[in-house]
Amino acid sequence: MNIILDEIEIVENVLTPEDFVRLRTATGFTDIPLPHATRALKNGLVNVSALCDGELVGMGRLVGDGAMYWYLQEIIVLPEYQGQGIGRKIVNYLVEYVILHSSTGKFTTIGGVSAKGKEGFYQKMGFEIIPNGIKKMVEI
Ligand SMILES: CC(C)(COP(=O)(O)OP(=O)(O)OC[C@H]1O[C@@H](n2cnc3c(N)ncnc32)[C@H](O)[C@@H]1OP(=O)(O)O)[C@@H](O)C(=O)NCCC(=O)NCCS
């Protein structure tokens, strides 16, 4: 059952590694060690938390070079809060962030890899689905 939302607040760079891991695993992403999560957040360009009455209900991250290429990562809304426009708020916020922080003032690229079945969500956010997104898993 969905919860009726009052106000959703988007806050930059307050996400803890513990919450990052919790949101990932709550939505089917693999568990990752805390030191790994800590480093990932630190080295990312920005992360945002979506708060509902002060409670963390979603997140999103941008990684990349902060100029030419920006990549959306972990756009996540907790299951009981999905379908109420929070994902849209997170993505719109990050797109605005890119526009504000891009150095060229001309154009830049926002990329990402859509999880299976989420392509329609990104299309609704104005993204194009391209066939040549690639990824490689390496053992570390
Ligand atoms: C994908 C996700 C972030 C969407 O968040 P959400 O808060 O449920 O999405 P919103 O309510 O903001 O939806 C915005 C629009 O996208 C549409 N949409 C949402 N998920 C969709 C999907 N899987 N396929 C097609 N359209 C979708 C909604 O219907 C809505 O359309 P509307 O504005 O015309 O009504 C959320 O489902 C989630 O966290 N999933 C698990 C984690 C995940 O897979 N993240 C993506 C990683 S690539």
What is the crossing angle of helices 17-26 and 34-43, to 10°? 110
- For residue 69, give the 3-state DSSP assignment: strand
**Residues 13-36, mean pLDDT to the nearest whole number:** 97
Question: Which pLDDT score is estimated for 133?
Answer: 61
Which range among 43-47, 49-53, 99-103, 135-139 shows the weakest confidence by mean pLDDT?
A: 135-139
Q: Report yes or no on 63 lying in a domain.
A: yes
The pLDDT tens digits of the residues spanning 87-103 come to: 999 999 999 999 899 87
Does pTM surpass 0.85? Answer: yes
Q: Which CATH number characterizes residue 134's domain?
A: 3.40.630.30
Q: Report yes or no on 1 lying in a domain.
A: no
Our count of domains for the chain comes to 1
Q: Report yes or no on 88 lying in a domain.
A: yes
Q: Report yes or no on 28 lying in a domain.
A: yes
Distance 104 CA to ligand 1 centre (A): 30
Is 54 near ligand 1, meaning CB less than 6 Å away?
no
Instruction: Residue 119: give the domain boundaries.
Output: 8-139
Question: Which pLDDT score is estimated for 33?
Answer: 97
Residue identifier of the C-alpha nearest atom 34 of ligand 1:
124
Secondary structure letter of residue 14 according to DSSP: -
